[in-house]
Each structure stands twice: as structure tokens, then as C-alpha cells.
Structure 1
């Protein structure tokens, strides 16, 4: 219900820029430009955890970008999902392009799941909302894309905000799993893990581990369309990753 009330309130109450507070605009041109950042780039946290997929981000997590993400996530500025989704869409294309240069396979955006308690407290799932906006933007550019929420938490986890890097990894280790039937949904597409923010990389590392534990069945076909020996083969799901923002230092390490 909180999500509905926030959307209704956004139609009737005065708005202010989610980045700088400028009145009568949800996002001013200057903050919109800052959210676009220097363009999608590969980023690496320091230290880079083993098992972290290749991650692309659109903007450093600072100043207006930080304010916009917090306004959407914590203060219910749901209209900001659109510009945040646009930023994420660019990072998704950059991440997918490394392994699918032809662009023929549909992009399958897999959101890192929020805990049920966080969703209840906020009244919405910010990562999933941004992912849906990103998929819509990708489709408007002519790229097949959809969101498939195939990850779920298999056990309770603590709030990550109060934990250091080591605590975050311990908190999330083994916490995620793929839902029943998830492998079927991932067939034939380019899987990209998505999140709003990367700090230590713990969430994306655990999400990638959960996906890599799943076998993706397929039949290797000959050119005439018949299966070779009729023998099913299986491959592990391998995902790239994309986020709206990450620590500025994660960008800086890639400059040289």
C-alpha cells in the first residue's frame, strides 16, 4: 500500500530534484547529466572478490548520483526509476556486449533480490523497479529485453548497511538460490545480473555463485536443424553484471 500512496502523492504534491533539491522538477538537467556519468565502464572494487563477474557501471556513487539513488530507494521518489533505469540500460548493454557482440540474443535482466523485510519497510523493491525501467528503455532502442526475477533468498540475512566488507561476504554466503524453473527462463538469452549499487561486490558475487550452480540444458543442433546424436548437453549459467553506480575508486582503478 505504501508504494501506491507514494505514487499518488507524487502526482499532487510539489516535486524537487532528487539530486540537488531544485524545485518543480524530478531531476534537473545538471543532475541528469551527472547520473549519465562518464559512460558505462568496467569497474572493480578494491579488493576485488574472487567470483565477482565482470561489472559495468554508469556513474560514480557520489554527490547527485548518491542523492538520487537514496531518494528512490529510501524516500520513495518512485518517478526516479525512469532516469535510473536509463543509466542502468547503458551499463547492461556494455556488459552484454562483451560476450554477445551480435546483439541477437535477448537480454535477460536478473535483479539481485532485496530481503522481504527491506521491501516491506520501503514499500517497494527498488532494484526490481529500476530493472523494469531499464528493460523498457532497451526495448525502446530495439533490443529485446525482459526482467526475470529468478533469484530468491534461501535464508534470512542481516541489513548490509551496518557491515564491513568481511561481514557482508559472511552475511550473504550461500544466501541466494535460483527458483524452481529458473533455468528454463534463462534459456536462449544473455543473462545480466543487475543492481542499483555496488560497494564491496558481495551481493553480485553471491548472485553469480547462485547462478553458476544452475545447469542450463540445451541441444546442440546441426545446420539442418536436427540434434547431433540426439544427446542433450548442459552448460552452466554465466552472467555479466551491471549497476547504476559504484564507488568512485572502482572507476579510478581502471584509468591506467
Structure 2
């Protein structure tokens, strides 16, 4: 009982303040330690004592913390400010920071939802592929979904030969050549024409750059337009492109006197 009589009128203990403001005693102790909100007095027994004025200041701290400000921001950047313009500038900066976090979380949510769909379609647990899909989502690669169709050999090859920049460059080059193949096919450009063979050379150079001379990778590239359960628009485009690619490469290899597919099977 003596302990409670030692609390003067108009003062509250740390426990009473914590209960009143719906926070923990440890939080108040931390604010005191950080020099953000020290008690107005100490009891004879060494207990922290707070006043209504402290409660008002605590309310301000909690409100600013709710807006995402750190304790350091509140103590060192906000409280020392003197003019509305200065405070408004800090609030605007904080708003920009919050928006950036929202954008990041929104993108993370999109990636989670996409990855979930990919996992269900894969019908297997493969965290290496999950990681590759996430990386490609972060790269804004619209063809991230192709990853689930590749085998481990192909993915290991891609991981060892391409980084973020070179990977994006290759995808861009591949899509550009596929679109060009569709244009040439629709325009009925002969496979043995100069234009057709110029394209064949560019396409074959792309393939050799990808394989690094490993001809065992060839079938994997040929299968790009033949995967099951792929996007119908993608598959339709690949069917058109592949028809033309097969024609021009047939002429190209014949003129060179080579058959890389036969060499690969040896």
C-alpha cells in the first residue's frame, strides 16, 4: 500500500500509461532510453511517473509512428521543425516513401500470384525453377512461364551462360527474330532468296550464341513452340515462325554442306 501512496496526484505510473495508450511498458521504456519521451518525475521508489502533458506528447509520437516515421525521424527531423512549410515538406517526403513501399508490395503480390499459378501448373516441387521464375518476373520478362518447360540441363546452361543483362538481351533478340520470321513467312519471301538467307544466318548465329557450341541444346530450342499447355497466341506465332525458320535453315545448311542436327545425334 505504501508504494501506491507514494504516487503524487496528477501522475501516472508507466503501467497505467501503457494500459491507457494500449502499448507495452517495454515500449515506454524504449522511448525513454532513446530520449524521445522521458517521464516527468520519478517516485521515491524509482518508478517512472508521467503526467497528462506526457500523454499528449506520447499521442503525437504514436500518431507519427503510425504514418511510418521512425523514432529517429520523429526525434531528429520532425520535432525540431518550426514552420508548417518545413513539416509539410517532411510529410511529402514520407508520402513518397510510403508510395514506393506500396508499389514494391503491389509488385510482390503480383509475383506471388503468378508464381502460385506456375507452381500449380508444374505439378512438382522445384525450388530452383521457382527462383528462376521469380528472377524473370523481377526482370519484367513476359516469357517467364517458359521456364517451367525447360529441363534441368537447359536451365543449368542458362544460369551459367547468362546474367540479368545478357539474358534480357537474348530474349529481346529471340523475340525480334521470331517476329521477323513471321513477317517473312507472311510476305512469302523465298527461303533461298538473299533476304531469306540473311535471316537464316542471323537466326543461326543467335542459336550458336545460346548453345555456346553445345549442339545437344538444339532440340530444346526447337521445342520452344511445341510445349504443351502454353499460351495459344504464343504457340500460334511459334508455329508460323518455325515453319519459315525450318525452310531457310534447310537451305542455309545445304549451302554450307553441314547438318548440325545429324552431328548432334552422333
- Pick the TM interval, shorter chain: under 0.3
Normalised by the length of structure 2, the TM-score is 0.24
Q: Which has the higher strand share?
A: 1
Q: Which has the higher helix share?
A: 2
Q: Which has the larger radius of gyration?
A: 2
With a CA cutoff of 8 Å and minimum separation of 6, indicate the structure with the bigger relative contact order. 1
Normalised by the length of structure 1, the TM-score is 0.25
